[in-house]
A and B are shown apart, each in its own frame.
Chain A
Amino acid sequence: MKVLVAVKRVVDYNVKVRVKADNSGVDLANVKMSMNPFCEIAVEEAVRLKEKGVASEIVVVTIGPTTAQEQLRTALALGADRAILVESADELNSLAVAKLLKAVVDKEQPQLVIMGKQAIDSDNNQTGQMLGALTGFGQGTFASKVEVAGDKVNVTREIDGGLQTVALNLPAIVTTDLRLNEPRYASLPNIMKAKKKPLETVTPDALGVSTASTVKTLKVEAPAARSAGIKVKSVAELVEKLKNEAKVI
């Protein structure tokens, strides 16, 4: 079966971002960008399904600027077969991204769509679920285990109190949680080979999708800083401070 994996180019998770002085956003100039960590897990899961003989082809898609080709090449180096870039210079909201992905799903007809549970920049946790609504597919969000069995996929999900397993009819959408797998690194020969794999570029207009949004960001501020704390010398002093100064125990 064909598997579609959606990935996103985001600021690297190790970077401590700074808010711009004019409060229009965070400063992303000259900041290291990478594939969103949850998307890496999605690519890895698709590659493992192919290695098990479950998946026959892996198509990786991203929606973003021209530079997002780097993340597609990374996915190709990890084992994806071909890539699609939906090129858009604008920062798009989840609904617009889900609509664009729906157009790609219509064209590619995958049996399984795998994507991360959330992007670490916008922290929305929406796109997979929205794509579920638009395509009418079942959704297995926050997956920590995925098993394809016949025309169904069993997904074990991380929920607040523990784990839950659901069975979804294929085609279906799975969003990855951190414990689904440990992504591999791309080897140098595979990075070289990935340069020759097909990468198709399309525009939202060509897909016939409007990316207009009903939400706009008015400003972005730094969070309130915590006032500096003190170091205590002993456990006894700590208990005394917690009882008498902070009054929390």
Chain B
Amino acid sequence: MTILVIAEHTNSALAAATLNTVAAAAKIGGDIHVLVAGANAGAAAEAAAKVSGVAKVLVADNAAYEHQLPENVAPLVAELGKGYSHILAAATSNGKNILPRVAALLDVDQISEIVAVESADTFKRPIYAGNAIATVQSSAAVKVITVRSTGFDPVAAEGGSAAVEAVSGSADAGKSAFVGEELAKSDRPELTAAKIVVSGGRGMQNGDNFKHLYALADKLGAAVGASRAAVDAGFVPNDMQVGQTGKIVAPQLYIAVGISGAIQHLAGMKDSKVIVAINKDEEAPIFQVADYGLVADLFEAVPELEKLV
């Protein structure tokens, strides 16, 4: 049994989600190979070779793979993947974009966002916004799977010494082109990898008031998230959204400020170790999942909290 893990990377560096995906592969068991498809991705490949438990790194270096366009990358993964028992990718926007296309090219079903490995062919995954957990079994020749990062503790980024091997793939499929990118700039930890997350909702009232959360987050070394209401109201950009349709997080501590706790928001954060809710409405559903609830005006409580931590 040999498992192919598709690396999540920025060409110059390996993304943390890759380490969680390798951890899921290790639970399945067998040799683990990592594919780094990109352009000038030597640095990402070197980082992948050092990851604990990786036996081999395949590097497909081609200008066509620079922006991870699925029309170009999926045929490469499908061709390479034929000889593997499993193909795994992180359930990031890239992984979710590319992997189903790979599965259809291989004519197999895909299993999305697994949170646990029961055996080499049986996995657990949440459905209905996390309100039910399904155990699914695959009889596919190649099992194509995306991995929810928060379900698996990352393997060590250092300690491995895998061989790096260049592979060639198909060229540009000529169906799509990268036009541009607008990335939100932030010095705070990445939302999905942060140990502490402070999130604001509609109760923040406006974008300017998020400065209270930023101040608290900086003191705690935390990332800042938001509910859909805060994003839709234009308080913060959408890549900060936590929930079924945004990012799934499971930090050590999640502080929900001015968030009522709709099902769709809980789907993105209810696996956090400790949940704190600060809300002036004591009937808010968020208090049903919060370990510590504080019924208070957030504009008084948050600055006070910032002073005390």
| Chain A contact residues, CB within 8 Å of chain B | 11, 13-14, 16-17, 19, 26, 93-95, 98, 117-118, 120-134, 136-139, 141-142, 144, 154, 157-169, 172, 177-179, 213-223, 226, 229-232, 234-236, 238-239, 241-242, 246, 248-249
Contact = CB atoms under 8 A, between A and B. Distances in A.
A121 B252 CA distance: 28
Contacts of A222: 131-133
Interface stretch (B19-27, B109-117, B162-170, B199-207): B109-117
B128 A123 contact: yes
Nearest to B251: A248
Given A93-B109, A120-B128, A229-B291, 13 more contacts: A94-B100, A94-B110, A132-B70, A154-B179, A159-B94, A162-B237, A166-B176, A214-B139, A215-B139, A223-B126, A226-B289, A231-B294, A242-B253
13 contacts: A95-B109, A123-B112, A126-B100, A129-B99, A130-B101, A137-B175, A159-B239, A164-B67, A166-B178, A215-B139, A217-B135, A220-B133, A221-B132
Interface string B90-108: 0011101111111111011
B42 interface: no
B258 to A, nearest CB: 15
A126 B91 CA distance: 12
Contacts, number: 250
A130 B104 contact: yes
A241 to B, nearest CB: 6
A178 B245 contact: yes
Given A218-B122, A230-B292, A162 B184 contact: yes
A232 B292 contact: yes
B93 A159 contact: yes
Contacts of A232: 292-294
A238 B253 contact: no
B294 A235 contact: yes
Contact of B101 (A129, A154, A160, A216): A129
Interface in B269-309: 270, 273-276, 282, 287, 289-296, 301, 304-305, 308-309
B265 interface: no
A219 to B, nearest CB: 5
A236 B305 CA distance: 8
Contact of B274 (A130, A139, A179, A248): A248
Given A26-B128, A218-B137, A226 B270 contact: yes
A179 to B, nearest CB: 6
Contacts of A177: 245
Interface residues of B, number: 88
Q: Nearest 9 pairs between A and B by C-beta?
A: A133-B104, A129-B100, A130-B104, A126-B100, A138-B175, A214-B140, A165-B179, A229-B291, A162-B183
Given A123-B128, A216-B136, A221-B133, A161 B239 contact: yes
B308 A239 contact: yes
B175 A168 contact: yes
A182 to B, nearest CB: 9
B112 A126 contact: yes
Nearest to B102: A133
Nearest to B98: A129
A169 B105 CA distance: 20
Contact of A215 (B101, B104, B140): B140
A124 B112 contact: yes
B175 A215 contact: no
B120 interface: no
Contacts of A178: 228, 245
B80 interface: no
Nearest to B290: A229
Contacts of B263: 13-14, 16
B196 interface: yes
Contact of A246 (B231, B253, B264, B305): B253
Contact of A235 (B132, B139, B289, B301): B301
A120 B304 CA distance: 39
Interface in B116-146: 122, 126-140
B108 A123 contact: no
Given A216-B136, A239-B309, A139 B70 contact: yes
